[in-house]
Amino acid sequence: MKALHHALAVGITAAVLFAAPAWAQVFNPETFTLKNGMQVIVVPNHRVPVVSHMVWYKVGAADEVAGKTGLAHMVEHMMFKGTKVVPAGEFSRIVAQNGGRDNAFTSSDYTAFYQNVAVDRLPLVMKLEADRMANLKLDDKDFQPERQVVLEERRMRIENDPEALLSEQMEASLYLNSPYHHPVIGWRNEIERYKVEDVIAFHQRWYAPNNAVLVVSGDITAAQLKPLAEKYYGVIPPRPVPVRARTEEPPPVVARTVELRDPDVHQPSWERLYLAPSYHKGDTQYAYPLQVLSEVIGGGATGRLYKGLVVDQKVASYASSGYDPAAVDLTSFSIAASPSPGIEVAKLQESLVALIQSIATTGVTDEEVRRAKDRLQANVAYAKDSLHTGARVLGGAIASGQTVDDVEAWPQRIAAVTTEQVNAAARAVLKDEGSVTGLLLPGPGGTDENGEPRPSRAGSSMGRDLR
């Protein structure tokens, strides 16, 4: 439940809100399923006459075949290359011409496409999206230049960004056998080798209505949406879809350290990833306690990291923690920090390791857990004011294997977490042998993918989506 937005009415406190019997209802969605198996979720929000229309496919980078990493992301790009009735490049132009905006994104576990438009333009974008689900036209003429776009995107966003490059290497070190070992964008040498036929096969294998979730949030109801969904998506025949077969991650046995030195690093940093259970894999009973633990450790000015390292010891200028339990497979629990000016990374690491060991052995307090749960529950209320948050949270959850009921019951399940459960989760996860430590340091730049000295990256930019 990340990136939740503000929605509390003035004068209503989180404590009052979550004392109400209906507190478990987060987004109050309406749902139905089309005859072809496509799931539909509606999140009514009648503040403005606008809707967010999203189609989520239950396929991501972790579902690719060996040797063809990046195919899921490549298919996302190629979805904009047209159909028999909508030529390449016209999809986004039509959406913009009608006052909307559109984009797409790929993760390890899902791929999603969205358009934000006025409600009276909803039939138009549904027609466009259904068309490219069923009638995508792919050829080598469009594929070859788009592959170069993806390679340039990889260069800009990963290879020219020391922080992103270190993160990629840390993930590869954490996951030894899981498909999460591979970056979503793919490895450069494999992107360069696969062909348009691989993209076509991937689209045909996974892009079926019975493997998709339609989520529409905004000024609409299920009764209004259902005939539109049946008209545009319901006529697409279902197809057999492969089982999402994932390789198992072996039990970790050694701690690992990844160090990256680069001349463009001006602010060193320290990060550690711990292999952790998710909602679906591993010791799943720890998924909710770990969310509370992350808030205790990294939750603002009162969190253990900020108070201990930034305020008290003054060895860090920044500190955070993170945990996302929604993965299909095992996930990671992260702790990160940057040293204060004049403080060596070794000194920061010494303080961080001592703090982590204290949490794993001594545990956290009842008061810390209570405050963390209050903050997490308040964030749910903040989400309700956003047109897009409900669509993103529900779509990502369903595409990763959860149910609508799981999302709606999240506040209750967080509220039920005990201090004992949080401390048990800390002991189970915060173990050296299940960790990868990443050090980002200033220094020589190393070599590029061709073995040549890597030039300075000063001035490089993340840019916008290069699609």
- Beta strand spans in 277-433 (E): 316-323, 331-339
Is 374 a residue whose pLDDT tops 70? Answer: yes
Where is pLDDT greater, at 63 or 380?
Answer: 63
CATH superfamily of 27-232: Metalloenzyme, LuxS/M16 peptidase-like (3.30.830.10)
- The burial of 356, by beta-carbon neighbours within 10 Å (0-12 exposed, 13-18 middle, 19 or more buried), is given as buried
| C-alpha angle 279-433-64 in degrees, rounded to nearest 5 | 50
pLDDT at 457: 39
Hey, which residues does 111 pair with through a beta bridge?
57, 106
- Measure the CA–CA gap between 405 and 338, rounded to whole angstroms: 39
CATH: 3.30.420.10, 3.50.50.60, 3.30.830.10, 3.40.50.800. Which one for 256-442? 3.30.830.10
Residue 256 three-state SS: strand
Nearest to residue 79, comparing CAs of 137, 125, 140?
137
Nearest to residue 103, comparing CAs of 77, 127, 131?
77
- Stated length of the chain: 467
> Average pLDDT for residues 82-87, to the nearest whole number?
94
Model confidence band, residue 456 (pLDDT cutoffs 50, 70, 90): very low
Residues 42, 217: contact at Cβ < 8 Å? yes
Query: Of 30, 64, 76, 350, which residue is the catalytic one?
Result: 76
pLDDT at 463: 29
- Is 271 part of the annotated catalytic residue set? no
Residue 432's CB is within 10 A of a number of other CB atoms, namely: 16
pTM above 0.85, yes or no: yes
CA terminus-to-terminus distance, the chain: 28
> Average pLDDT for residues 89-111, to the nearest whole number?
97
Q: Could you check whether 27-232 and 256-442 share the same CATH topology? A: yes
Is 10 a residue whose pLDDT tops 70? Answer: no
Domain ranges of the chain: 27-232, 256-442
Least confident of 18-27, 30-39, 238-247: 18-27
Model confidence band, residue 301 (pLDDT cutoffs 50, 70, 90): confident
Where is pLDDT greater, at 427 or 446?
Answer: 427
Tens-place pLDDT, residues 52-69: 999 999 999 999 999 999
Tens-place pLDDT, residues 65-81: 999 999 999 999 999 99
Nearest to residue 331, comparing CAs of 386, 294, 374, 382?
294
Residue 406's CB is within 10 A of a number of other CB atoms, namely: 14
Tens-place pLDDT, residues 159-193: 999 999 999 999 999 999 999 999 999 999 999 99
pLDDT at 451: 56
The tokens for 433 are 């042998």
Is 2 a residue whose pLDDT tops 70? Answer: no
Place of tokens 């459960």: 421
Q: What amino acid is encoded at 339 in this protein?
A: P
- Measure the CA–CA gap between 52 and 30, rounded to whole angstroms: 15
Hey, which residues does 439 pair with through a beta bridge?
259, 270
Tens-place pLDDT, residues 429-449: 999 998 999 999 998 865 555
pLDDT at 300: 81
pLDDT at 453: 53
Mean pLDDT of the chain: 90
Is 230 a residue whose pLDDT tops 70? Answer: yes
